[in-house]
Amino acid sequence: MEQKNINEEVKNKEIIENNESAVQEEDYIIEVDNVSLDFYTRDEKIDNLKEFFIRLIKGKTERKAVRILNNISFKVKRGESIAIIGHNGAGKSTMLKLIADIYRPTKGTVKVKGKVAPLLNLGAGFDQESSAKENVYLNGAILGYSRKEIAKKYEEIVEFAELKEHMHIPIKNFSSGMVARLGFAIAIDVNPDILLVDEILSVGDENFRNKCARKVKELRDQGVTFVIVSHNMPQVRSLCQKAVWIENSEVMAYGEVNEVCDQYIKYCNNKK
């Protein structure tokens, strides 16, 4: 009888531990584990295709690995907002592209759960010859939505972008600000689980920037997970709960947003 009770206690303990482990694993919507990324360059300059093939045949082409990111690790819980900060060239935007599955890591793993809307280079996927309206449907399809689903959202997208009078004009005739506004409006209106934001909260005039910031906060309050790259520390502090500071391709600090921002600002001041 005593042995049976012991066995039941052990079994119950295993069930509880397994359940806790499952809950803990489910909590994280993004997991970046010891990720490194190398880009390859050539030392010698080759000016034409003919010279390249001659060197290739002779075995004289050499590639040099340049480490862009080195052993980066952090986790993001569902509904959490995290900022990636650091100087230009530190690898911040590259990290977003790894999360967006645009790049694949040389080493380590990036696990992402849910639908991702990357606000990286707004308008990069637009067809320049097509109208703004046609590009709304095109981008919606790229993000995984049917024509019928986009049709339901079309008016909201146009209203947010403030481009009602311009939707039948080819994108090639848009200013860069108009393109960015349309790209932002499409991405934030497709109900993503994860929104990747790369320095795009500065698009348009001040009124539109404020509108973008309010929309981001609204989505955050609705439980959308945010990963933001920005040099704007006040904006980072107001939008995010955590931060990752990347410098020289490595993580310098990771944790509560104000603590990490304070460390980064102190570092920048000491370098002046």
* Per-residue pLDDT, 56: 60
* Per-residue pLDDT, 151: 92
Give the tens place of pLDDT for each residue, 161-190.
999 999 999 999 998 788 888 888 887 777
Q: Which residues pair with 28 in a beta bridge?
A: 77
For residue 197, count other CB atoms closer than 10 A to its CB.
25
* Per-residue pLDDT, 123: 61
Predicted confidence band of residue 243 (pLDDT cuts 50, 70, 90) = very high
Contacts of 31 (CB under 8 A, 6+ apart): 75, 76, 109, 110, 111
Residue 203 forms part of a structural domain: yes
* Per-residue pLDDT, 20: 44
Give the tens place of pLDDT for each residue, 51-85.
655 666 666 556 678 889 999 999 999 999 999 99
Percent pLDDT > 70 in the chain is 78
Total residues found in the chain within this entry: 272
**Of residues 13 and 271, which shows the higher confidence score?**
271
* Residue-averaged pLDDT of the chain: 82
Predicted confidence band of residue 50 (pLDDT cuts 50, 70, 90) = low
Residue 170: name the closest of 182, 157, 154 by CA: 182
**Of residues 259 and 150, which shows the higher confidence score?**
259
Residue 1 forms part of a structural domain: no
Mean pLDDT of all residues in 143-164? 89
* Per-residue pLDDT, 23: 41
Q: How many domains does the chain have?
A: 1
Q: Does 3 have pLDDT greater than 60?
A: no
Q: Does 222 have pLDDT greater than 50?
A: yes
Residue 258 forms part of a structural domain: yes
Contacts of 187 (CB under 8 A, 6+ apart): 117, 118, 119, 122, 139, 143, 195
Amino acid at 265: I
What is the domain range of residue 183?
A: 27-271
Residue 231: name the closest of 88, 82, 72 by CA: 88
Amino acid at 43: D
41-45, 127-131, 139-143, range with the lowest pLDDT: 41-45
Q: CATH no. for residue 39?
A: 3.40.50.300
3-class SS of residue 43? coil
Residue 71 forms part of a structural domain: yes
Residue 149 forms part of a structural domain: yes
Percent pLDDT > 90 in the chain is 42
Q: DSSP labels for 160-226? A: HHT-GGGTTSBGGGS-HHHHHHHHHHHHHTS--SEEEEES-TT-SSHHHHHHHHHHHHHHHHTT-EE
Residue 170 forms part of a structural domain: yes
Give the tens place of pLDDT for each residue, 87-119.
988 999 899 999 999 899 999 999 999 888 887
Which range scores top for mean pLDDT: 47-56, 183-192, 235-244?
Answer: 235-244
Residue 11 forms part of a structural domain: no
Residue 266 forms part of a structural domain: yes
Q: Please tell me the distance from the alpha carbon of residue 192 to that of residue 224, in angstroms, as a whole number.
A: 7
Burial of residue 139, with CB atoms counted within 10 A of its CB: 0-12 exposed, 13-18 middle, 19 or more buried: buried
